[in-house]
Structure 1
Amino acid sequence: MLSTNQAATMLALQDKMNAKVNPDWIAVKSPFLRAVVIEAAEAIEHHGWKWWKKQECDLEQLQMELVDIWHFVLSAILIKHEGAQQPALDDVFAELGSTSVTFDGQQISYASLNLLEKLELTIGLAAAKRYSLGLFSALLADCQMSWDDLYAQYVSKNVLNFFRQDNGYKEGSYVKIWSGREDNEHLVEIMAKLDVKSDSYQTDLYNELQARYNLLDMA
């Protein structure tokens, strides 16, 4: 289960990341839930949905898309509470255990949906400027992730996001494809080599990303 310390840490990291992109991000109120729509659609692609061709589920990339979704949900929660950390933290736990949602005039039980249907519901809610932490928790379970797993991957992706910003992401000069693969894929490889519990984990991860970015042929 998600701990209070983990949730508080992630909210603080998300605020710090967003402020790096735009110090006035709370007032600007960017459409973070629109980003959830896109990330959930990408998750569907990684899962595979085309019935007319053979596809295999890329579980690691599917999990990474859930981490991306979590970034944007946390941002939406912080905006809802004008950046106040404690009310945002309270909001996280208020409905974390919910098992259903009313949407489009129907009461929908998460247990009645398969993974793709949960992702579709996530898209529908986000398009309607809504989110459900109970639904997200159900998605984690379907993708074989615990909250501890999410926390570890969230911290890792947070490092990648800082790395991107430091290397020109906002200005458009950052190169996302390294040797024919997305930086996300390189991140997964590096994570597997490092100890997430190490005090130097964030620094080690950042340095390894920088080394690959500098040395690999990028296409």
Structure 2
Amino acid sequence: MLNQSQLAIMLNLQDKMNVKVNPDWLNAGYSYLRAAMIESVEAIEHHGWKWWKAQKLDLPQVQMELVDIWHFALSHILIEHKGSIKDASAQIEQALTSAHTTVAFDGNSFDLYQQSLVENLELMAGLCVAKRFDIKLFTRIVEQAEMTSQILFEQYVGKNVLNFFRQDHGYKTGTYKKIWDGREDNEHLVDIMQALDSNLDNYADKLYEMLEQQYPS
């Protein structure tokens, strides 16, 4: 289960990234749950659902979509709490420790532990359309996608830091070098993440610092 320190790091990173896009993002009216709904549907596509053709579950891609969904979910929760990281963190903590195993939607009750991964993804998409996000449902989906909370945290922070790094080094102007030493930046990031202790309080800062050290000047 995600701990207080991890939640604080992720919420702070999400706020900073959103401010980078728009300093007034809290009042901009962006539909973060619409974005989460689209990502949920994309996860279903990567899972496979078509009964009329052979399909193969692409679990790494499903996991990537879940990391993206978490970005949008954190943004939505921060808006609900007017940008208060403390209050947003408290809500998430409460939801994570909740004992509920069912979700009510459209007059029906869905048991999160009886449903398949694709069925829970579909339920999450439906809730997002109704402007609702159920954290317990999301964590159940993460579990079904063979991710731990630690992996979710590391993948989330890694992607967020890389996005910051790209923006700070000319991504918008086209001067950023996505490939150096014959490898893409996300490959370099994976190496750094594997060598770094994710329990460090300054984990995100260290990731950025080590990317800076490896990036060609």
Q: TM-score range by the shorter chain?
A: 0.7 to 0.9
Aligned residues: 202
Matched with 2:47 is: 47
- The CA deviation at 1:50 is 2.2
Distance 2:23 2:59 in 1: 35
Matched with 1:201 is: 207
- After the TM superposition, which residues 85-164 of structure 1 pair with which residues of structure 2 at under 5 Å, given as runs? 85-96=85-96, 97=98, 98-164=100-166
The letter for the 1-side match of 2:74 is L
Decide whether aligned partners of structure 1 residues 63 and 102 sit closer, same or farther in structure 2, where only a CA change above 3 A counts: same
- The CA deviation at 1:201 is 2.4
Instruction: Give the structure-1-normalised TM-score.
Output: 0.81
Instruction: Give the structure-2-normalised TM-score.
Output: 0.82
SS in structure 2 of the partner of residue 107 of structure 1: strand
SS in structure 2 of the partner of residue 61 of structure 1: helix
- Structure 1: 5+ residue stretches without partners: 215-219
Decide whether aligned partners of structure 1 residues 196 and 168 sit closer, same or farther in structure 2, where only a CA change above 3 A counts: same
Decide whether aligned partners of structure 1 residues 206 and 59 sit closer, same or farther in structure 2, where only a CA change above 3 A counts: farther
- The CA deviation at 1:160 is 2.8
SS in structure 1 of the partner of residue 104 of structure 2: strand
The letter for the 2-side match of 1:142 is Q
Distance 2:130 2:173 in 1: 30
Contact 1:160–1:206 at 8 Å: present in 2 too? no
Q: Could you tell me the percent identity over the aligned residues? A: 47
1:107-162 Cα offsets, whole Å, 9 max, x none, are: 21101210001110110000000000000110111011111111000001102322
Matched with 1:36 is: 36
Q: CA RMSD in A?
A: 2.6
- Structure 2: 5+ residue stretches without partners: none
Distance 1:129 1:81 in 2: 15
The letter for the 2-side match of 1:34 is R
Does residue 57 of structure 1 match 2:63?
no
